[in-house]
Every structure is written in C-alpha cells, then in structure tokens.
Amino acid sequence: MAAEQPQPEGSKPLSGLLSGIAQATYYGHAGITEELLRGQLYPEAAPHEFRALLAKMSGVLKSVASADMDLNQLEAFLTAQTKKQGGITADQAAVIAKFWKNHRTKIRESLINQSRWDNTLKNMNWRVDLKSQSRHVDQINTPVAIVEMELGKNGQRQ
C-alpha cells in the first residue's frame, strides 16, 4: 500500500461524477440524471453548487474528448485549468487525468460511432465509356462515367 499514492480527498465522488457524465454523454445511458448523480455522489451539496460542478466537469471532459488529447496535451490543458480563475483544483486535475487514461479509448470509439451516418458504402464499381457511334459526329468519343455504389446499414454484413 505504501507504493500507491494516497487518493486525494473527494476523489471517489469526482471519479464517479466523471463516469456518470461519460455514461450519459458518450455511452447513451439516458437513466443517468443530474438528480441521480447528486443523490449518489454529493448528497450534501446544494443543488446550485452541484450543478456548477457538473457543468465545469462536463466542459472539461468535453474539451478533452473532442480534442482526443494524449497524455502530454492533457497535462498541459489541466495545468492551464488549475491556474485559471474559477478553474479546477490540482486534486481534481489528478482525478481527471486518471479517468482519461482509463476511458480515452472507449470514449473515442463512442464519438466515432456517434458521428457515423446510418448507411455506409459497402461496394463501389466505376468505369468510363466512350461513344464510338452516334447520329451526330460531335458526340463520338464523348466520355461517360458510370458509377455503381452499394449502400448498407452500419454494422450489417453483406
């Protein structure tokens, strides 16, 4: 146990809050509500205080996820956030960094899946034809492109 760093005070509720934000925002679990998170993680916090914390952490997580930050970018971003007026504390930054290390891949995959169209391109064939006969001489050797595209639902096999 001596080899592990002690967890900062309040890190478990904050880690749970970040997980709840990720569940609701990136993994599509509609049952995760502000009231549920407050009741489970910060029951002693006033509603307006919890709402401010939720908004701050949601914003930080959104910034980190949308930029798909690597660990160096994350460290620089979190350091800037700790120095900003009304930003985050160093303990919060440590919890966010640990959360991002553990959840980066899954959140990135979720964002990619959310940004895909319903239909996907399964197959494509193309060719260019030249007219060799025509009633009008000026239409001979006019190229015509023919493209065939096969679309399918995302995730379905052919």
- In this structure, the number of other CB atoms found within 10 A of the CB of residue 32 comes to 17
Distance in angstroms (rounded) separating the CA atoms of residues 73 and 50:
28
Bridge partner residues of 151 (DSSP)? 121
Distance in angstroms (rounded) separating the CA atoms of residues 133 and 136:
8
pLDDT band at residue 113 under the 50/70/90 scheme: confident
Per-residue 3-state assignment (H helix, E strand, C coil) for 2-24: CCCCCCCCCHHHHHHHHHHHHHH
Reported pTM: 0.67
- Give the pLDDT confidence of 81-92 residue by residue, as tens digits: 999 888 899 999
User: Cβ(126)–Cβ(145) under 8 Å?
Assistant: yes
